[in-house]
Structure 1
Amino acid sequence: MHCTREVTKDIIWVGGNDRRLALFENLFPIPDGVSYNSYVILDEKTAVMDTVDASITRQFIENVEHALGGRKLDYLVINHMEPDHCATIGELLRIHPELTLVGNEKTFRLISQFYDIDMEGRTLAVKEGDTLCLGKHTLHFVFAPMVHWPEVMMAYEESEKILFAADAFGSFGAHNGALFSDEVADAKAELPEMRRYYGNIVGKYGPQVQAVLKKAAGLDIAVICPLHGLIWRGDFGWVLEAYDKWSKYEPEEKSVVVFYASMYGDTQNAAEILAGMLAQEGVKGIRVYDVSKTHVSYLISEVFRCSHLVMAAPTYNNGLYPAMENLLTDMAALNLQNRTVGLIANGSWAPQSGKIMDAKLSAMKNMRVLDGTVTLRSSLKEEQTEELAALCRQIVESL
């Protein structure tokens, strides 16, 4: 049985949800599942805009066939050749052997790497700025390399002012009935999962996202159709603003996130006391995380949110506690920059964690590490509370 929605009279959503998948890319927790968006355009020629993950093949095919209503399928436009959007290319070709695959040279190279599909005489290669006329609808192709794969492109439909945005402007989470941003009570409630999706999936490629945003600024966009998450219509200027900040590595908020690693609670104690001091000084939006307990994807999201970080960790085997080292490694891999950081180090006989954290942060771009690392010898002593207070003052003054 089909489950489709009209984006407009001639553009039909034919995607679906996977609520069973636990890890996106077998890496990122998705407790609320994930959506896969695909679209059919009905005109003199018909087109499907991207396909879906193998997990929802049956639903997708039923949706496409219902939307086509017995018509043949002329084109499959492949904006992004990642398997969660391309696993059903072969099935569509089996049902509609007459269809033409639309992509760029890198798209077709990736298809041949992933799948054994005979593409001879079945492809239409497009370049930046090319168009595809379907009748009343014309697709303009806007290339978006490394957002977040090298073959990525977007398609702008000029008559209805719709941007098919590939993986940009997407989010974790399955649809809960509502498909459009103006159908949910508060679209901005989606922001944390949008940020976590952006930061971990696309975050490394800020300059490339900036390049695409500049291209998009020249388009009159009424609707954004991403491959995951809500379809954006109505007031979505704040979504573009968020992408602009994230891709410039500018924080959303002037606030503090405290990350701690602690084996026996002593490093945690110092981190908790500092968080309380910051709150007493009027800092809003503080969050405190145990890096051993919280998946790193949520921690990365908070780095994108906050202007100031506190990192508190013990020495471990004369090195840095592994969970904190993992966070710092991920931050470096994602090109994170432009933050102010305070440090709390611990070590019972040879404290090294402060020096290691400082070195790793200093290797990142525009990371300001505050003076006066608070170094504990096993536990916080009463006479060291002034050191914490001094670190608190530095953070507050720099906010």
Structure 2
Amino acid sequence: MKDFVQVSNSVTWTGVIDQDMKKFHGEELSIPNGTSYNSYLVRDEKTVLIDTVIYKEGYEWVSQLKKEINLNEIDYIIMNHSEPDHSGGLLELMREIPETPIVCTEKGMEILKKYYGKNWNFQTVKTGDRLNIGSKELIFVEMKMLHWPDSMLTYLTEENILFSNDAFGQHYANYGLFNDMSDQDQLNYECMKYYACILTPFSGILKNKLEEVLALDLKIDMICPSHGVIWRDNPLQIVQKYLKWCNNYSESQITIVYDTMWESTRKMAESIAEGISDVRQDIRVKLYNSGKNSENDIATEMFRSEGFLLGSSTINNGILPSMASLMESVKGLKFRDKKVGAFGSYGWNGKSLDILNEGLDEMGLERVSDGVKTMWNLDDEDREKCVEFGREFAKNLFVELL
């Protein structure tokens, strides 16, 4: 277990780095770079622990915490969010200090009681409430549905540190701990992936909440999230990224996703990409086989695209399983302001195209045509039909630039 790290004069990082964790939310989210569970100890006249760690690390974490501090000296435990990756360590901790007050939102108390079946000493707070800990105060800001109904931020005055829980975090097991000690390309990608795959459905709420927090005019010198790096170098850079991402974000990119049985759908995807490039050579076109790539990585590329195309072979009156899973996932993410289309190959039953179109319509995105399909393998006529489909899609997408 990584040694605890001094973050500021009064704050110590008391978390866990988990480089072996490769899936999150059960098996739903791929996290190839691992993650961290960030907990923080704040010392003043009162001593406060902000968030805990995942349950599987609880025993070892409490053992290490005992070396850092006499647990009986902890005056308050702040739970910014009740999800088990942040609250799981409570079970081990509260065996040691069962009467210590747990500060959380009203909804947080409800969730913690339901998860752990314990009637601990809860103290509930709402936006604007303050906790005096000596020379400093903790100010609480509710962040309902970002991304659970109990979520909140905690702000430490004097040192101007924002403990943001899931907001502004990422799944990145960085032993350097701070953003200026990280691989910047990897960090930026993991931040976008975290937003795209977890927070996108709440973009409208997030936009309003960010504006509300900024209107408080709090000086922020450091942002300490519950996963990934601590933002100490230009910490507001991640806030600015969130402000862009929550506003129907896109880049000059088209993503083509397909799954294929005997390579015909792959050939269609490649021909469509050729047609797109005929129209706009400066556009970034990315192709992904949904059966061979991470569903979350593909969703991230779709999030950053101005438009995307989905293709599948027909199998048993349906579409290939990886494509069906991807579509269900993306439907829940509620992407906005993207143009979409579909394509597919078949032998004797061409239903895949209809199923793909129906799924795209359920996403609430603008489908630019009824798509294109081919039977068996592609001949020259089929290839040209796919190239032309790509051209038309690009023209529709970039009509204002042509």
TM-score by length of 2: 0.91
What residue ranges of structure 2 are gaps of 5+ in the alignment? none
Query: How much has 1:349 moved relative to structure 2?
Result: 2.2
Aligned to 1:14: 14
- The whole-number CA distance in structure 2 between the counterparts of 1:290 and 1:355 is 20
Query: How much has 1:71 moved relative to structure 2?
Result: 6.7
Deviates more, 1:209-218 or 1:11-20: 209-218
8 Å CA contact retained: 1:102, 1:123: yes
Q: Are 1:25 and 2:35 matched, yes or no?
A: no
Aligned to 2:368: 370
- The whole-number CA distance in structure 1 between the counterparts of 2:320 and 2:238 is 36
Aligned to 1:136: 135
Q: CA deviation digits over 1:269-298, x for unaligned, max 9?
A: 111232244446414432211111223222
AA in 1 matched with 2:87: C
Query: How much has 1:209 moved relative to structure 2?
Result: 1.6
Deviates more, 1:272-281 or 1:143-152: 272-281
- The whole-number CA distance in structure 2 between the counterparts of 1:114 and 1:233 is 34
Determine helix, strand or coil for the equivalent of 2:33.
Answer: coil
Aligned to 1:356: 355
Aligned to 1:181: 179
What residue ranges of structure 1 are gaps of 5+ in the alignment? none
Aligned to 1:193: 190
Pairwise mapping of residues 68-83 of structure 1 onto structure 2 (< 5 A)? 68=69, 72-83=73-84
Pairwise mapping of residues 269-280 of structure 1 onto structure 2 (< 5 A)? 269-279=267-277
8 Å CA contact retained: 1:342, 1:391: no
8 Å CA contact retained: 2:71, 2:97: no
Q: CA deviation digits over 1:61-106, x for unaligned, max 9?
A: 2443344367711000000001111111132223234521111221
Distance 1:222 1:351, change over 3 A: same
Q: Are 1:250 and 2:249 matched, yes or no?
A: yes
CA RMSD of aligned residues (A): 2.1
- The whole-number CA distance in structure 1 between the counterparts of 2:236 and 2:94 is 38
8 Å CA contact retained: 2:271, 2:387: no
Q: CA deviation digits over 1:101-120, x for unaligned, max 9?
A: 1112211111111113242x
Determine helix, strand or coil for the equivalent of 1:286.
Answer: strand
- The whole-number CA distance in structure 1 between the counterparts of 2:333 and 2:71 is 46
Determine helix, strand or coil for the equivalent of 1:224.
Answer: strand
Match of 2:262 among 264, 269, 272: 264
- The whole-number CA distance in structure 2 between the counterparts of 1:20 and 1:322 is 28
Aligned to 2:151: 152
Aligned to 1:101: 102
- The whole-number CA distance in structure 2 between the counterparts of 1:63 and 1:212 is 36
- The whole-number CA distance in structure 2 between the counterparts of 1:387 and 1:221 is 55
- The whole-number CA distance in structure 2 between the counterparts of 1:188 and 1:244 is 19
Q: CA deviation digits over 1:316-359, x for unaligned, max 9?
A: 22233332222111111121221112322222223122222222
Deviates more, 1:95-104 or 1:303-312: 95-104
- The whole-number CA distance in structure 1 between the counterparts of 2:244 and 2:127 is 26
Query: How much has 1:188 moved relative to structure 2?
Result: 4.1
Aligned to 1:42: 43
Determine helix, strand or coil for the equivalent of 1:8.
Answer: coil
- The whole-number CA distance in structure 2 between the counterparts of 1:301 and 1:358 is 21
- The whole-number CA distance in structure 2 between the counterparts of 1:241 and 1:188 is 17
Aligned to 1:394: 392
Number of residue-to-residue matches in the alignment: 393
TM-score by length of 1: 0.92
Deviates more, 1:13-22 or 1:385-394: 385-394
8 Å CA contact retained: 2:312, 2:344: yes
Distance 1:364 1:16, change over 3 A: same
8 Å CA contact retained: 1:79, 1:154: yes
Determine helix, strand or coil for the equivalent of 1:41.
Answer: strand
Query: How much has 1:139 moved relative to structure 2?
Result: 1.1
Determine helix, strand or coil for the equivalent of 2:348.
Answer: coil
Determine helix, strand or coil for the equivalent of 1:128.
Answer: coil
AA in 2 matched with 1:215: E
- The whole-number CA distance in structure 1 between the counterparts of 2:228 and 2:370 is 44
AA in 2 matched with 1:200: C
Aligned to 1:51: 52
- The whole-number CA distance in structure 2 between the counterparts of 1:2 and 1:371 is 54
Aligned to 2:118: 117
- The whole-number CA distance in structure 2 between the counterparts of 1:116 and 1:237 is 38
8 Å CA contact retained: 2:307, 2:338: yes
